[in-house]
Structure 1
Amino acid sequence: MPGWDGYDVPGHVRRHWEVPVLVDNDVNLMALGEHVTAHPELDHLLFIKVATGIGAGIISGRRLLRGAVGAAGDLGHVAAPHVSDVLCTCGNTGCLEAVASGRAIIEHLTAVGVPAMTNSDVVALVRDGNTVATQAVRQAGRRVGEIIATCVSLLNPELVVIGGSLAQAGESRERIS
């Protein structure tokens, strides 16, 4: 995170409280939490967070996979199929985040005259039956789903869990076998 590079967050927290401190990417912590509390019997789990950004926490062999420099699971900057011309905040075009994140949905809704400023607004619009918001979330879900399908083929998890603020716009949690 810009501005936090090199800052000793665990040391700072420990000066105030005598507690174990774990600092990590939010989706990695979500994956660990989901694995330990809800699915400890599984060896392989993929947690997908869809919110302002889009990322994955990967549990394989009961261990969190971080990759060579800790960036494993950064799905937001994977090229989304069929959208190569949309500019992303990273400077590239066609990133999944540019077309399927909360920010992208909010930008689309605003452009078509549906007021939304936050992911919570998007969720509320969907739950209230707004068809434009529902269609935008469904399209984003399809795009995320295309990338998840590739992840499933590559990683072969026992379970895929979808979380993050935009997941609240969907139906209740169900295990799909």
Structure 2
Amino acid sequence: MESATAGDLLALLRSGRASTRSELRTVTGLSRTAVVARVNALAAAGLLRLGAELASTGGRPPGSLVLNTEAGVVLAAAIGRSRSQVAVFDLGGTELSASAVDHEVGAGPDEVMPVVAEQLRALLAPGRPPVLGTAVSLPGVVDPDRGVSVDTPVMAGWDGVPLAPYLAGVADAPLFLANDADILARSEYLGHATTIRDLLVVKASTGIGLGVLADGRIVSGAHGGAGDLGHTKVPEAAGRPCRCGDVGCLETLAAGWALVARLREEGRSVDHVRDLVAQAHHGDAEAKQLLRESGRRLGELLAVAINLLNPQAVVLGGDMAGAYDVYAAGVREAVYARASALATRELQFLPSTYGDRAGLVGCAALALDTVLAPAAVDALLAAKE
């Protein structure tokens, strides 16, 4: 790294690979003068501060260099089919404030986005550091370059609609957009993926999606559609109409919306899959059976992905995973019955590290990794010169 820039040094400090000027020189091969110049530039921009002195190893105790987490904030908005969560995070990834709001299933961007913007604006306290970026997650396939949804049939009216204009009045900051399952997988960068590099991350809620982490990297596919398990056709669902407009999708048997519809047909009072999970927690036998059956249906298809990708672990997240023991039992039953012995020999099943906050944590991670990427930091320093 003898050509390491100031942005590269900040990345090394954020990752923990270095914490002093001396360690930066060792890792990069840069001269003392070059390291000092780059560190001074980062400090002048407010991105670094001198931390507590480290224990002396002889001679003058070296001063530790730490990211100034108060130099700015990022905004996160995890938009679901029936609920949106928003939050403000500092540059260290600590949540400073958050809120959530329910909305009608199928509500369009003109109904949802102004409320999201209002919630974010309310969370930004006067005098708070500048907003450096905003990350938004949506169900379905998105185009991050254009900041639009491109294939979300279950959220009518969103495709092709730019989201940045809705948030322009909140902060003068770039927008980063991602699929909700990929965002759930990204949240595991701070959780299970710190020790496991090959993961399948299930989001089982109103709909069903799959995030793929292969060798520590998110796999989104050629058009951003990797992991769309919910709308894969399965024989048992033949002829069943799906919200996407097609028939025969896995979601018609296993998604939260299908389970809620089934209970409503029986006269049960449920409005959302979260109500179903709450009933399961209170010992409702039918609710527990529905969740276990849903997990089994998912596991039958998930077994194919496990055979293909050979992950070390499957992480179960989303609202249905709130009843983890029941739901995971169904998933495991089908996976062990259908996947190969090799693929399941050491396979782990794990709950989502951040539970119902995973969408916000993943959005924050996306924003932070983008605005604090070496190229972005170097551009910021160049603009300050």
Q: Give the secondary-structure state (helix, strand or coil) at the position aligned to 1:48.
A: strand
CA contact (8 A) 2:315 2:349 kept: no
Match of 2:238 in 1: 84
Which ranges of 4 or more aligned residues in structure 1 deviate by more than 6 Å? Answer: none
Q: Provide the C-alpha distance between the structure 2 equivalents of 1:92 and 1:18, rounded to a whole number of angstroms.
A: 40
Query: 1:15: how far off?
Result: 6.7
Is 1:28 aligned with 2:190?
no
Could you list the runs of 5+ residues in structure 2 that have no partner in the other structure?
A: 1-148, 150-156, 329-347, 351-385
Write the letter of the residue equivalent to 1:80.
V
Decide which of 268, 276, 283 is 1:114's aligned counterpart: 268
Q: Give RMSD over aligned pairs.
A: 2.4
Query: 1:8: how far off?
Result: 5.0
Decide which of 176, 187, 205 is 1:51's aligned counterpart: 205
Higher strand share: 2
CA contact (8 A) 1:80 1:143 kept: no
Match of 1:93 in 2: 247
Q: Provide the C-alpha distance between the structure 2 equivalents of 1:128 and 1:45, rounded to a whole number of angstroms.
A: 31
Q: Provide the C-alpha distance between the structure 2 equivalents of 1:92 and 1:104, rounded to a whole number of angstroms.
A: 14
Match of 1:143 in 2: 297
Query: 1:80: how far off?
Result: 2.6
TM (normalized to structure 2)? 0.42
Write the letter of the residue equivalent to 1:43.
R
Q: Provide the C-alpha distance between the structure 1 equivalents of 2:196 and 2:176, rounded to a whole number of angstroms.
A: 22
Determine which structure has more spread, i.e. the larger CA radius of gyration: 2
Q: Provide the C-alpha distance between the structure 1 equivalents of 2:237 and 2:166, rounded to a whole number of angstroms.
A: 43
Q: Percent identity?
A: 34
Query: 1:101: how far off?
Result: 0.6
Q: Provide the C-alpha distance between the structure 1 equivalents of 2:184 and 2:240, rounded to a whole number of angstroms.
A: 29
Could you list the runs of 5+ residues in structure 1 that have no partner in the other structure?
A: none
Query: 1:91: how far off?
Result: 2.5
Q: Provide the C-alpha distance between the structure 2 equivalents of 1:50 and 1:85, rounded to a whole number of angstroms.
A: 22
Is 1:74 aligned with 2:228?
yes
Query: 1:122: how far off?
Result: 0.6
Q: Give the secondary-structure state (helix, strand or coil) at the position aligned to 2:178.
A: coil
Match of 2:162 in 1: 7
Comparing both chains, which one has the higher relative contact order based on Cα–Cα distances under 8 Å and sequence gaps of 6 or more? 1
Q: Give the secondary-structure state (helix, strand or coil) at the position aligned to 1:169.
A: helix
Q: Give the secondary-structure state (helix, strand or coil) at the position aligned to 1:35.
A: helix
